[in-house]
Structure 1
Amino acid sequence: MTEQDEIPEMASIKSGIKTIVPAAKSYTQLMVPMTNLPQRSHSAIPLKTNVLIVGGAYAGIAALRALQINLSSRIPSNGSKISVTLVEPKDGLLNILGISRSIVSPQFAQTQYIPFNKLDHLRFHSIISEDDSESRYDSSWFNDDDKVQLNFIHGRITSLGSQSAEYTLHSSTSGVAKIDFDYVVMASGRDRNWPTTPHATTQQQFIDEVTKAKDSIDKANTVSIIGAGAVGTEIAGDIKTAYPGKTVNLVHPHEHFPPEPLSLEFKTMVQDSIERAGVNIYLNTRIEKVLDNNNLLTTTQKVIESELNFHCCSKHNNTSFLTPQLQKHIVNGQVNTNEYLQLTDPATQLSHPNFFVVGDLVNFAIIKSAGWAMYMGRQVANNITSLIFDEKLVEPMPDLTSMPYGMVIVGGNEEIISELSGDVQLNHEGYKKEYLDYCIGKVRATLDV
């Protein structure tokens, strides 16, 4: 049976193309979630859920917490529970903003990965995880809310269609199981090269990884960062600040950095901060290959001496698990949506009413950021709640043509360079306070966790 065979027909004709999409469901139409789902399972098991959230970073947790609040306020006191299931490879919230500081300070890194049971308000009815340690998943993880049933799957999605998904836990022996859902929020984000995207699935594994990265920095006299986007720039600045005696190179293929559509004043201030810290900057320079001794060979055949290299020049959105039928919604590596963030066919402009996409994945002309991710997570939670109880969408994306670009970067010597609405500042007092902990406090306040 194909995916389309399983979809209740709500057929539309546009430009001569018939597109079949699943109908959004109201509260009285929602499938009944599995009532016998165990509190703990150490293997993948099939389940049904009303809302599936794929990814538990900024956007996914924003959606989860907003749904928890919204649904609790709308479900009648004697009404049926609504189930929300989170699938996430990590068992906690990792503050990606703090990665650059984490790789030079494992002690700081401990503050940047927060297990879900240490976040306020997030407790689960059911946890599916291969970890059978009672000390890892003790009573602090669990709750018995009367209205919203929260489930956590400590694993990853391997296939995602319009009405169902497949998932696996972390080992190859755990098997694959199916999830049927009424609504889905795809918040799987994007990955970069290690250590910017850690492999860790627990806090201790994260600490072990950043300790490994720090050990490699300790042993190298010359460290090169390839790619001067926001991530590469901050890694260069933090390494040079922590190790002022080391040679730190920042290699970038263009004349200015970062590459986002920001003012020349901002980019010049960022470069000046990095240079004053003592980082060597190579502009208009592309790396052809890394030599056997870790030196860098440029496309002009110049050799840049190096002992340790961090590649911060590429990223990819996590979309490969979309079914072949849904892959056509990807445009230039990003997922096409309408103004309500519903998955939309770029050819027909027909949308899937129950399928929402948020965060870095969306095909919008914005600077992708934690702030936008959290905004979109809350937005889709409002729309899903309204679809369930009022059968209508209530919140589109704002008018992006009138939305100013902005960015905050940590430069050299922990300087803060910011631009918002054309206002460029060095060491804005508000941003300096927020970046003492690399915004984890602000993130938790915004997420209400």
Structure 2
Amino acid sequence: MTPPNTTKENGPTKILIIGASYAGLAAGLNLLDLCQGRSARFSSRDSSSSSSSSVAEKQDGTLGVKSEVLIKIVDERDGFYHLIGTPLALASTTYASKAWHTISSIPALHDPSISFLQGSAIHINPSTKTATVKLATSNAGKEGDEIEEGYDFLVAASGLRRKWPTVPQSLTREEYLRECKGHIEKVTSGETKEMGGVVVVGGGSSILPSPLSHFPFL
């Protein structure tokens, strides 16, 4: 980040975050807090006294200096998906609708210093500090269009790519809800029972409670 008490000559510091899951969103929101002179919202500091006052009011003032930033978050999904809740999302349509939140529905991301781009980062050039992003259909360009995004600092928080049925493969909330509904209908159909039920391979203690609580006949 730009050192305290200095101004970046060519405008705000640009931070590009690849990944909008737990790490990516946490990094973006914490950086925003610090650059706006506040305590990071996920710090261990007593939140009862730090929600609105700046760091400078609680310390010696050195961390209270504001730094202008523009944070851009890139992810192939159109929102945040609660990955840990997958077993329950694939067993309950009611819960499934709560596990995926579009970026536009998350109040914390409405800050003008934060923007979101749905797409996949396919190349990073540290020398030129640019990232090539392949756009998704929800953006102004056509699906598959590639654009260059410049940055001053890059946060790589893309995580792991997990295959179905470990996690849903949909990239939009609408598709995800259809995917979960289709899976649940398949599990509850007579076909599943005729095939001998459901086999859980690995992770049984954490995965079994969700389907068993919703499908006791399995």
- Other-structure match for 2:31: 67
1:170 Cα deviation from its structure 2 partner: 2.2
**1:366-385 matched pairs, under 5 angstroms:** none
Gaps of 5+ in 2: 38-63
In structure 2, what is the Cα distance between the partners aligned to 1:68 and 1:236?
39
Deviations 1:180-229 (A, max 9, x none): 11111100011222133222222222211111111121121111122x23
User: Which ranges of 4 or more aligned residues in structure 1 deviate by more than 4 Å?
Assistant: 24-27
**1:334-345 matched pairs, under 5 angstroms:** none
- Other-structure match for 2:198: 223
Q: Which amino acid aligns with 1:182?
A: D
- Other-structure match for 2:166: 196
1:237 Cα deviation from its structure 2 partner: 2.8
Q: Which amino acid aligns with 1:224?
A: V
More contact order relative to length (CA 8 Å, sep ≥ 6): 2
Assess if the C-alpha contact under 8 Å between 1:30 and 1:182 holds in 2. no
Aligned match for 2:209, one of 237, 253, 256: 237
Deviations 1:380-402 (A, max 9, x none): xxxxxxxxxxxxxxxxxxxxxxx
In structure 2, what is the Cα distance between the partners aligned to 1:84 and 1:118?
18
**1:27-176 matched pairs, under 5 angstroms:** 28-29=7-8, 31-32=10-11, 50-73=14-37, 76=66, 81-123=68-110, 144=112, 149-162=113-126, 163-170=129-136, 173-176=143-146
1:173 Cα deviation from its structure 2 partner: 4.2
Q: TM-score, normalised by structure 2?
A: 0.73
Aligned match for 1:187, one of 134, 154, 157: 157
Assess if the C-alpha contact under 8 Å between 2:133 and 2:147 holds in 1. yes
**1:319-338 matched pairs, under 5 angstroms:** none
In structure 2, what is the Cα distance between the partners aligned to 1:160 and 1:183?
12
| Gap change, CA 1:84 and 1:75, over 3 Å in 2 | farther
| Gap change, CA 1:69 and 1:244, over 3 Å in 2 | same
Q: Which amino acid aligns with 2:130?
A: S
| Gap change, CA 1:97 and 1:166, over 3 Å in 2 | same
Gaps of 5+ in 1: 1-23, 34-48, 124-142, 247-449
Compare the two structures and name the one with the higher strand fraction: 1
Please give the secondary structure, in 1, of the residue aligned with 2:198. Answer: strand
In structure 2, what is the Cα distance between the partners aligned to 1:239 and 1:99?
11
In structure 1, what is the Cα distance between the partners aligned to 2:94 and 2:114?
32
| Gap change, CA 1:106 and 1:69, over 3 Å in 2 | same
Tell me how large the CA RMSD over aligned residues is: 2.3
